[in-house]
Structure 1
Amino acid sequence: MASATNTKIVSSPLLVLLLFSLYTSSAEETGTTLTSSTEEKNVFVLDNYGARGDGEHDDTQALAKAWNAACSSSRPASSLLVPKGNTYLLKPVTLSGPCKSSITFNVKGTLLAPPSRSDWTQDTIRHWIMFQGVSDLTVTGGGTVDGNGEIWWKNSCKTNEALPCTEAPTALTFHQCDNLKVDNLRILNSQQIHLSVEDCANVRVSRLSITAPGTSPNTDGIHVTRSTDVQVRDCAIKTGDDCLSIEDGTRNLHVTKVVCGPGHGISIGSLGDDDSRAEVSGVTIDSVQLYGTTNGARIKTWQGGSGYAKDIVFQNIVMDNVQNPIIIDQSYCDSAKPCEDQESSAVEISNIVFKNIRGTTASKDAIKLSCSQNAPCSDIALENIELKLEGGDGDPESTCQNAKWRKSGNVVPSPCKGSN
């Protein structure tokens, strides 16, 4: 078994971002001439449907018309082009299928959300741009999706506790989309979650640059729920919340070559809120780098829930000044009021591997396994771990409650002294 120090992971986030930039730039095409011949090639150009592209006039209806034309085309493949160099102001919009053929949404310019919250109604407040019920969809192009989210962050109860807690839009939502590819995009300043994959199957997400201020609330980078056979790779994520949040119904998810930070790290959960049942299995997080994040490899569940989180691997991970590098929390509570003690029920956590993990921790508790007395965490493997306290002032520690663990190779800090 290879030691953690032999894991081949790029050590510089700047190098990763440089390679990412070169990769996306080389993939970007030179643009398309806006002539009638484009539709003969089954390319539907947004400007041909009345879009202004000046960032000031509302282009929502133009996009809806272009989408309907592309989606209803009887040719084997259609492409909707958002031209390079223009900015298209869009209010909340749902682009629905099924379509008659495969479709490529080719974003080369910028899609911009409106600056006012009044452009959303109670019915649309959860989404900005949503793709629903579309199979064989590709969203790509090297362009930008800008959620213009500052006004939403200012009015969040997590920014100002005197304000009521309200919902906010997700920038890009994919609902019931099978055989989906999302590749080579810049997603900025979402109102809340940047990209959400919901009730989808066979999904490939790659080469995304996702950015929002570290202080922006609830701005998860990539969110996956109720979806199967999902791959995420070669992404750079800097946000104010989880770089990746993995929730109920996720099965067979593989994440690799992701750079994360700032943010809250990579989280499975929260699971079991409001006494619900949650099921997550077959998750692999591989070759990830985390810089200055609140958490590293994290599983969080609420008391009172049921179900399971199992067959999960966190491996080949570099931590740099991470507050909680390895953490399982079966008593998670994100509520203004203290959560009730509900030890009678818990989401069961089993067959979890933390392997080949190295770097620095910002707190003394580098490994924290806090599990339920009623449903202890079982079959937790700690393999080849080397975590040092940031600044080198002292030694890190580990704490465990109700966790059945085993170790392999060198594990620093020594796991769970005095408990098992």
Structure 2
Amino acid sequence: AAWKDACNSSSDPSLFLVPEGKTYLLMPLSFGGPCRSTTITAMVSQATEIRGTLEAPSNRSVWLDGDRRERWITFEDVDGLHVMGGGTLNGHGQEWWINSCKVNKSMKCVAGPTAMYFRSCNHLVVDDLEVKDSMQMHVVIASCWKAAVSRLFVTAPGWSPNTDGIHVSNSREVSITNCIISTGDDCISIVSGSEFVRASGIYCGPGHGISIGSLGANKSLAHVSDVLVEKATLVGTTNGVRIKTWQGGEGSAERITFQDIKMYNVTNPIIIDQNYCDSKKPCSEEDSAVAISDIRYNNIHGTSLSKVAVKFICSSAVHCDGIVMQDVSLVGQKGAYLKCSSVNARVITPGFNSPYCTADM
């Protein structure tokens, strides 16, 4: 009822408030537009240390009974939406994680709900929120144009499966800045249909790093372009900066730059994998792949836990082309020298780089 009043309000901007010091159990709910007001602010407030809090039901039966809900809080078709205020959204995802097929192999694989899902929200601002312990993904930006995401504190245990921090899908002109993300999956994942995405000032760890993809699953057509990841710090992640595509897919991942990045004890600091396979069954070799080209790595420094710090695992069907490494310096524990593994990739290495990669076509 509060949302309906705010959405239909003639005041501009209109305010939808979760007051500080209050905690609300919120069942799965969608806040839909279009709204009368050209700007609507959803404020999850914080006064000193007393946060306004929204809590998800912890019992899985709420989500699985009847019409299964794939999202907890959805904002859809709301232009000029601002979601902010310093408050907390708690997904209470523990029951989902312990019943995941990735944690318990005897369990059936069931996708968990996303905590915050924004769909078709243009001129979107999401700022200064804590989002914790989501059932699966924490924040999804889908089919949005001109979205600015900043100052999010996203947390879940490192063992929690599929708990991506911020996931961008089919969206254009997205900015993600000054966020702290600690999860059990990708800190940031950027998938098909996304263009002109910038992530800057990101702290990531634990987690699976910052990823483009996966792309091309089930022989699908995928496209990602014009992505900049810069001024990031990754600590103790399984991957650093990664591009992952499935065999058999089509399309392209192009004009992607990773620069000014620090890594500490990262297992796979730099990786391109055109043979990605997140499946119980082995993935067979295919005669098509998502084309990867114009990928740049500039000013990346830090430490690797694996001896092969740079991996370009590219398809024999569609080689990786135009990979540029400049001022990359990665060392092992106690300063050990590391290696680069490059297969079916055209690599250009101006200036000093360590480890040094050569083209393998």
String of CA shifts for 1:120-144, please: whole Å, max 9, x gaps: 1464431000001100000000000
Match of 1:419?
A: 360
For 1:369, which of 299, 308, 312 is the aligned residue?
Answer: 312
Is 2:291 aligned against 1:354? no
Which AA in structure 2 matches 1:345? S
Moved more, 325-334 or 76-85: 76-85
Structure with max Cα Rg: 1
Bigger proportion of residues as strand? 2
How do residues 270-281 of structure 1 correspond to structure 2 at under 5 angstroms?
270-281=214-225
Q: CA deviation at 1:87?
A: 0.7
CA pair 135-270 structure 1, distance change in 2 beyond 3 A: same
Moved more, 364-373 or 123-132: 123-132
Which AA in structure 1 matches 2:360? S
Match of 1:203?
A: 147
Match of 2:251?
A: 307
How do residues 114-129 of structure 1 correspond to structure 2 at under 5 angstroms?
114-121=57-64, 123-129=67-73
Q: 1 CA distance for matches of 2:156 and 2:32?
A: 28
Q: CA deviation at 1:188?
A: 0.5
Preserved CA contact (<8 Å) 2:204 2:235: yes
Q: 1 CA distance for matches of 2:67 and 2:105?
A: 25
For 2:229, which of 259, 280, 285 is the aligned residue?
Answer: 285
Match of 2:41?
A: 104
Between the aligned residues of both structures, percent identity stands at 49
Q: 2 CA distance for matches of 1:361 and 1:89?
A: 43
Q: 2 CA distance for matches of 1:331 and 1:390?
A: 28
Aligned residue for 1:408, secondary structure, equals: coil
Q: With the length of structure 2 as denominator, give the TM-score of the two structures.
A: 0.96
Preserved CA contact (<8 Å) 1:125 1:167: no
Match of 1:258?
A: 202
Q: 1 CA distance for matches of 2:146 and 2:330?
A: 35
Match of 1:158?
A: 102
Preserved CA contact (<8 Å) 1:366 1:398: yes
Structure 1 runs of 4+ aligned residues shifted over 3 Å read: 121-124
How do residues 376-387 of structure 1 correspond to structure 2 at under 5 angstroms?
376-387=319-330
Q: 2 CA distance for matches of 1:324 and 1:130?
A: 34
Q: 1 CA distance for matches of 2:214 and 2:67?
A: 25
Bigger proportion of residues as helix? 1
Match of 1:345?
A: 288
Q: 1 CA distance for matches of 2:32 and 2:59?
A: 25
Q: 2 CA distance for matches of 1:407 and 1:110?
A: 50
Unaligned runs of at least 5 residues, structure 2: 46-51
For 1:407, which of 349, 355, 360 is the aligned residue?
Answer: 349
How do residues 14-413 of structure 1 correspond to structure 2 at under 5 angstroms?
65-101=1-37, 102-108=39-45, 109-121=52-64, 123-342=67-286, 344-392=287-335, 394-413=336-355
Preserved CA contact (<8 Å) 2:346 2:360: no
String of CA shifts for 1:72-117, please: whole Å, max 9, x gaps: 1122220011011111001100000000011000002000001101
Q: 2 CA distance for matches of 1:133 and 1:123?
A: 22
Which AA in structure 2 matches 1:349? I
Match of 2:48?
A: none
Q: 2 CA distance for matches of 1:96 and 1:273?
A: 30
String of CA shifts for 1:11-70, please: whole Å, max 9, x gaps: xxxxxxxxxxxxxxxxxxxxxxxxxxxxxxxxxxxxxxxxxxxxxxxxxxxxxx100010
Match of 1:24?
A: none
Q: 2 CA distance for matches of 1:359 and 1:125?
A: 42
Aligned residue for 1:152, secondary structure, equals: helix
Number of equivalences: 353
String of CA shifts for 1:263-305, please: whole Å, max 9, x gaps: 0000000000000000000000010000000000100000000
Q: 2 CA distance for matches of 1:377 and 1:221?
A: 28
Q: CA deviation at 1:419?
A: 3.1
Preserved CA contact (<8 Å) 2:154 2:165: yes
Q: 2 CA distance for matches of 1:134 and 1:283?
A: 25
Which AA in structure 1 matches 2:116? L
Q: CA deviation at 1:340?
A: 1.6
Q: CA deviation at 1:339?
A: 1.0
Q: 1 CA distance for matches of 2:262 and 2:208?
A: 15
Which AA in structure 2 matches 1:71? C
Q: CA deviation at 1:414?
A: 1.3
Unaligned runs of at least 5 residues, structure 1: 1-64
Moved more, 302-311 or 333-342: 333-342
Which AA in structure 2 matches 1:183? D
Preserved CA contact (<8 Å) 1:92 1:124: no
